Structure 1
Amino acid sequence: MNNFWIILVHTYMNKLKSKSFIVTTFLTIVIVLGLTNFQNIIEIFDKNGGKENVAVLDETGKLYEPFKQQLKTINKDINLTSYKGTEKEAEKAVENGEFAGLLELRFNKEELPEAGYKAMSIADSALYTDLQTSLQQVKTMLAASKINLAPDQLQKLYEPVSFEKTALEKNAKTEEELNQARGLVYVLLFIIYFAVIMYANMIAMEVATEKSSRVMEILISSVSPIKQMFAKILGIGLLSLTQLAVFLIVGYFSLKSNMESLKDGFFGVYGFGDIPGATIVYAVIFFILGYFLYATLAAFLGSLVSRIEDVQQMITPMTLLVVGGFMIAMFGLGKPDAAFITITSYIPFFTPMIMFLRVGMLTIPAWEAVLGIAILVVTIAVLAIFGARVYRGGVLMYGKSNSFKDIKKALQLTKNE
């Protein structure tokens, strides 16, 4: 058993001190800090502090004020300036960077407002969409006055339709709870997806690297291949938890200090407050089981190759399974109660993501979540037993890889031992 812990600690410390791990961790922390400080970064480079200055040439002399009032209700960050010069002078001011654009207001033949917008670039669709929406509101009001609609009649016209959503299922989540769950599920699906791909690939590369350097020949003379496989899986599992803990701690404190600036974006829509403890527990369980499922698969696939360059080809089917599960989960975010989602949540290689999606988004019976966990545990056990046999023979195989035909050879070598 001592040999098992020696390999586990060696695998963990060796990867922890590696340049690739340090660089990856550092770059990911930078990305996390960048995303959580996104609004602050924009304001640093934005000389107007997030404000857009637009010059307005009102040829009618009547549209500027009502247009300005309407725009305030849509976007307070757009500053309008009634330009008193000529059109050419206004265009020159835009070219000199004094204004983001020039808006020309005029009446059409029916005495209703229309406009033209000029800017150095029309790539900022959000800006001119807000301007167009505001002008549309002014046009609607003027058109209503022409057909003698009273103010209260006009208000009824704009009044949003009442549309109540009621879930008949007992203990069903409210819309606010669904938004919070959707945000958490969305983030954790990405964590599971990238963690499984990155760390499972790391295990396969580790095994292939040792085989290519003939270190395996020394190891198998003192430690059984089965101990080696599980020591590497657990070692890199601890490494992944270490790295994820760093990311989560940095992300948490960065989000906490920048929540005010982010409340109007993703976190304003979804939010992460009042998340049920059970959802967090399920997230941890499905993440760990998902890791061990794919890590066990990656270990014995890695044992079948003798050259590092063959690793990607060998683990491609495994990667496609992860990608497939992730794509199904993305579809399920919008329709978590679909029959297709329910069925795929019981397919072992999709269960970590799809069952967690259902647990987070729906109020499902506890036995369904427990069944999903049981399916994963049984699959991991079967993979571990089969994978250990393949690994035991696979580490003795050298030469060019013949893809999955090598599994049969590895099993034959195990029997002959």
Structure 2
Amino acid sequence: MNKFWMMLVHTYGTKLKTKSFIVTTIILVAAIFLMANINKIISYFDGHEVKHIAVLDESNGVIFAPLKTSLAAIDKDIKLEKSGDDETALKKQVSEGKLDGYLVLSLDERQLPKAVYRSESSDSNTADRLKNALQTVKGQMVAGKLQLTSDRVALLNSPVSFEKVPLDRKAQSKEQQGAASALVYVLLIAIYMSVLMYANMIATEVAVEKSSRVMEILISSVSPIKQMFAKILGVGLLGLTQIIIAIAAGVLALQTNSEVLSFIKHFHISSMAASTIGYAIVFFLLGYFLYATLAALLGSLVSRVEDIQQMVLPMTFLVVIGFMVSMYGMNQPDAAFVTVASYIPFFTPMIMFMRYGLLGIPTWKVLVGIAIMIVSIIILAVMGARIYRGGVLMYGTSSSLKNIKTAFLLTKKEPTSERKKNIPF
């Protein structure tokens, strides 16, 4: 057992000091601070940019004054300036950069406002804000034609009273569903990224040792089975370290931005049930061990680092498919094929938790999914151990999945007396 812990610590310590891990962690922390302060960055570059829009009013002043008032209440970064020039002169001013665009106002056959906005570029943001302001003006004019008082207009625009009451008493509340939805997104991304990063790292580690012939030395003192699980746990601890650093950076970044912090509070994280957080941790760990074990045995089948990507491609496809089904299920979590996919072990950690978070499915269904994953991990670990034992002794240029059969045959062969002394099979 001492040799197992030595290999685990060695795997963790070696990867922790690599430039790739350090650079990736720095980029991750920088990205977290960037996303937490993205609103400040955007406002710094264009928050104070004032758009100067000339207005060619063909409605004899009927629209311009209320439109300017309405726009000032919505957006103060757009300045409307009434112009007496014709369109030819206005086009020239826009092309010369003196104006950001010009707006032609007029009345239709029903004496309601209409407008045409022209600018040098496709400035859809400014156009949308002008449209919203003009829509408000139109509503005021229609209300005036119908002789509606302000109270009646407010009554007309007030939202309908609609309440959703679940018959199941155990069903999650609206606040809990909002918090669960946010956690589902986090878990989906975490599993997706951890499999692509850390599972591939395990496969690459095995292939590197084989390509450098270090494996021939290792198997003389440490069982290949211990090697496999030492690498899985070592890289897992490495990923946990990076996740802890990311969480700490996220908490620190949120303290510097009260706007983002108040936005997150809208998800009612504090109302999240403890069972939801517990299931998120369980599914994340089970998902990691499932794919990590698969990556370790796939890595033992190749002898060159160049062949890793081809060998782990089927595993990557499984992760991508599970992620895509989960994202679809965010809109239709009760779809039949989503339910079926949640019981397929390679998709269970993402889809089953998504169903629990959004639908509040019974606990026994979640436990069935967890049991399926545990059984799958055990089966995969037993098979992986045998394949790994024979795979680490295979050398060559082939990177086909047919090597699994060869690895099994090598495992079944009786070792020589010398191998029995050196290799604790």
TM value normalised by structure 1? 0.90
Work out whether 1:291 is the aligned partner of 2:291: no
The SS at the match of 1:163 is: coil
Q: Which amino acid aligns with 1:247?
A: A
- Distance change in 2, residues 1:271/1:69 (3 Å): farther
- Distance change in 2, residues 1:262/1:67 (3 Å): farther
TM value normalised by structure 2? 0.89
Where structure 1 has 5 or more consecutive residues not aligned to the other structure, the ranges are none
Q: Which amino acid aligns with 2:398?
A: S
* Deviation of 1:81 (Å): 3.1
Residue 117 of structure 1 corresponds to 117
Residue 202 of structure 1 corresponds to 201
Residue 346 of structure 1 corresponds to 343
- Distance change in 2, residues 1:40/1:51 (3 Å): farther
CA contact (8 A) 1:11 1:235 kept: yes
CA contact (8 A) 2:310 2:399 kept: no
The SS at the match of 2:395 is: coil
Q: Which amino acid aligns with 2:391?
A: G
* Deviation of 1:53 (Å): 5.1
Residue 25 of structure 2 corresponds to 25
The SS at the match of 2:352 is: helix
- Distance change in 2, residues 1:293/1:32 (3 Å): same
Q: Deviations over 1:197-255 (max 9, x none)?
A: 11000000000111011110010011110000000000000000001111111012212
Residue 136 of structure 2 corresponds to 137
Q: Which amino acid aligns with 2:57?
A: D
Q: Which amino acid aligns with 1:254?
A: A
CA contact (8 A) 2:176 2:268 kept: no
Residue 384 of structure 2 corresponds to 387
Residue 361 of structure 2 corresponds to 364
Q: Which amino acid aligns with 1:175?
A: K
The SS at the match of 2:104 is: strand
* Deviation of 1:338 (Å): 2.5
Q: Deviations over 1:355-414 (max 9, x none)?
A: 111222222222222222221111111111110000000000000225111111101101
CA contact (8 A) 1:4 1:231 kept: yes
The SS at the match of 1:102 is: strand
Q: Give the RMSD, CA atoms, in angstroms.
A: 2.5
Work out whether 1:319 is the aligned partner of 2:316: yes
Q: What does residue range 256-335 of structure 1 map to in structure 2 within 5 Å?
A: 256-261=255-260, 263=262, 267=264, 270=267, 272-335=269-332
Q: Which amino acid aligns with 1:112?
A: L
> Once structures 1 and 2 are overlaid, which stretch shifts more, 183-192 or 332-341?
332-341
Where structure 2 has 5 or more consecutive residues not aligned to the other structure, the ranges are 416-425
> Once structures 1 and 2 are overlaid, which stretch shifts more, 111-120 or 16-25?
111-120
% same residue: 52
Inter-partner Cα distance in structure 1 for 2:91 and 2:217: 77
* Deviation of 1:273 (Å): 4.2
Residue 239 of structure 1 corresponds to 238
Q: What does residue range 386-405 of structure 1 map to in structure 2 within 5 Å?
A: 386-405=383-402
- Distance change in 2, residues 1:271/1:55 (3 Å): farther
* Deviation of 1:347 (Å): 1.1
Q: Which amino acid aligns with 1:116?
A: V
CA contact (8 A) 2:300 2:391 kept: yes
Residue 178 of structure 1 corresponds to 177
* Deviation of 1:77 (Å): 4.7
- Distance change in 2, residues 1:65/1:150 (3 Å): same
Q: Which amino acid aligns with 2:259?
A: E
Q: How many residues align?
A: 412
* Deviation of 1:317 (Å): 0.7
Inter-partner Cα distance in structure 2 for 1:63 and 1:269: 38
CA contact (8 A) 1:57 1:105 kept: yes
Q: Deviations over 1:315-350 (max 9, x none)?
A: 111111111111111011112223322222111111
* Deviation of 1:127 (Å): 2.5
- Distance change in 2, residues 1:367/1:256 (3 Å): farther
> Once structures 1 and 2 are overlaid, which stretch shifts more, 56-65 or 310-319?
56-65
Q: Which amino acid aligns with 2:25?
A: T
* Deviation of 1:272 (Å): 3.6
CA contact (8 A) 1:226 1:391 kept: yes
* Deviation of 1:105 (Å): 1.9
CA contact (8 A) 1:52 1:77 kept: no
Inter-partner Cα distance in structure 1 for 2:330 and 2:72: 34
> Once structures 1 and 2 are overlaid, which stretch shifts more, 90-99 or 274-283?
90-99
* Deviation of 1:174 (Å): 2.8
- Distance change in 2, residues 1:72/1:363 (3 Å): farther
Q: Which amino acid aligns with 2:133?
A: S
Inter-partner Cα distance in structure 1 for 2:283 and 2:255: 26
- Distance change in 2, residues 1:91/1:271 (3 Å): farther
